[in-house]
Structure 1
């Protein structure tokens, strides 16, 4: 709701500028790095692009505009298209379940006696 308020325009621009400083070598890495800062591994599996399977639709979130603006404000990805960013965001959310479970699985014990 904060992002949708017109009176919060300057704060919104500061958030976009801050997110745009997140690095990456290409559109995919910049998009994934920004999404990784916006959503935790616990929240991201509850979101997908369209909102199917009782998940929240990222395509209708105000955060989507933040992502697109931040990717385009980044010097490396200035010429990124909506289609490119969308493609990488969809894939990032598709892999969210794997990221969430991978971190919960304990590493195998390597005890020496």
Structure 2
């Protein structure tokens, strides 16, 4: 009987440790990383069961969010030519997480570009704006969402709709931020 209790205690300890230990999808410092496949995420390493190899941040990856239209165009051009950058971005963007496609998409948008860049784009490129649907960035975003939510059939549609809405309301977000900063400045003085 004592042998059974001992095994039960060991199993309970293993179960407790597995719940608290770092597992797939956990971001840790490189020194704490285990020996199985991982991907690098801005100075940290991320376990990635889908890629099965280490991806290091390429030198062509800019600082995010991108604050100028020229910088975004240059980044998009590099995405088309550089597979390492593309693979890194898919992995990095999918690691932003979210409870659904739309949430992940919004996080990706905020991570990639500022509202000042977003106001220069709309989905189709109508009026004086540039088309976001023709950028390589949207392809990377689709791949990132599919990597994070592989089970959702219509993730491209949901992602496109979320992108359209995010771009559409960029000007409103800028105006709201200005109003909030004015109100904060008035409260201080």
> Which bracket does the TM-score occupy, shorter chain normalised?
0.7 to 0.9
Greater relative CO (CA pairs within 8 A, separation 6+): 1
Change (3 A) 1:11 1:111: closer
Report the TM-score, using the length of structure 1 for normalisation: 0.86
> In 2, distance between residues paired with 1:103 and 1:111?
16
Three-state SS of the structure 2 residue aligned to 1:59 is: coil
Q: Mind listing any 5+ residue stretches in structure 2 that lack a counterpart?
A: 1-76
88, 93, 99: which one aligns with 1:19? 93
Aligned CA RMSD, in angstroms, stands at 1.6
Aligned length: 108
Q: Mind listing any 5+ residue stretches in structure 1 that lack a counterpart?
A: none
Shift of 1:111: 6.2
Report the TM-score, using the length of structure 2 for normalisation: 0.53
> In 1, distance between residues paired with 2:173 and 2:135?
22
Counterparts of 1:1-113 in structure 2, within 5 Å, are 1-5=77-81, 8-74=82-148, 77-80=149-152, 81=154, 82-105=156-179, 106-107=182-183, 109-110=186-187
1:47–1:58 CA contact under 8 A, matched in 2: yes
